[in-house]
Amino acid sequence: MRKLELGRKIRKGFILFFLVFVLPGPALAKTSSRPVARGNGLEIRTIIIDPGHGGKDPGAVGRRGLKEKQVVLDIAKRLKRILDRDRNLKVYLTRSRDRFVPLSKRASFANRRKGGIFLSIHANSAFTSRARGFETYYLSQAVDDTARAAATRENSVLKLEEFEGLPKARRNNSNLETILWDMKYTEFRNQSMELAELIQKRLSRTLKIRNRGVKSAPFYVLKKVAMPSILVEVGFMSNRRDEALLRDANFREKIARALAESILSYRRIYKKEKGFTK
């Protein structure tokens, strides 16, 4: 009996050794060909700004006719203009004019440019016209009902697109690669939460509208990007007062400034945490 147990233990140890030290070699080598999150070194150098909707997809439409696609594009352009002043940053927009861009294209654009942060900008809509305020989302599966409703609405554009399914790399993954990917994903999620908190704090200090807090939901576009990613709903198109504010260029500039400040302060914290000194 004892001998048998010892044999079992040795076999177990050998399998563990194989799993921990031998297998990760080639698997790690393979994953490194995936989009690397942060570009050069440990500093965030590339920001991807994603104005929601566009072209045949207007997004939410206000009671007085203001369209979400116009509001978010304007805020995105203002935000880019502010961030462009920092010479160490490269800032890209997933669309810079009124055109339709499928969600999968937005994500692959961000991954190709090795973004360090992905920020999607949207404006909200609700059945009740009383709902107002701003909220920031990070990706997760566990959600409450209102968060699920927001994700369903923002994902509904998929009906206008050709669904491509999972990218090849994910489909052919071995279990181990999937585990490694999940670890990376957990890191991204924690960073996304941190950035979302910074944005909500900064926006609530700047804007005099309701802070609805940080939330999580399964947004398709966030699922596809290999970097910390968040989605900001800047106000409710379905609320008359929010719509009036969003129509005001000064208010949109305030939002853009608050977003830029949050991104820059996240970048500073990140640099410190990773011990990157220059």
What are the φ and ψ backbone dihedral angles of 210, each rounded to 5 degrees?
-65, 135
Structure tokens at 166: 């999972």
Answer positive or negative: Cα dihedral of 216, 218, 219, 225: positive
Q: How many residues bind Zn ion (CB under 5 A)?
A: 4
CB of 28 to Zn ion, least distance (A): 37
Of the candidate residues 59, 116, 133, 235, the single one contacting Zn ion (CB under 5 A): 59
CA distance readout (Å), 187 to 6, 172, 233: 39, 22, 23
Q: Which of residues 137-176 bind Zn ion (CB under 5 A)?
A: 154
Q: Which of residues 222-251 bind Zn ion (CB under 5 A)?
A: none
Nearer to Zn ion, 89 or 110 (CB): 110
Q: Which of residues 60-89 bind Zn ion (CB under 5 A)?
A: none
38 touching Zn ion, by CB under 5 A: no
122 touching Zn ion, by CB under 5 A: yes
Please name which of 127, 110, 120 lies closest in space to residue 54, comparing C-alpha atoms.
Answer: 120
CB of 222 to Zn ion, least distance (A): 13
Nearer to Zn ion, 121 or 193 (CB): 121
115 touching Zn ion, by CB under 5 A: no
CA distance readout (Å), 196 to 9, 39, 247: 47, 21, 24
Place of tokens 């861009």: 101
Amino acid at residue number 98? D
Residues of this chain that interact with Zn ion (CB under 5 A) are 52, 59, 122, 154
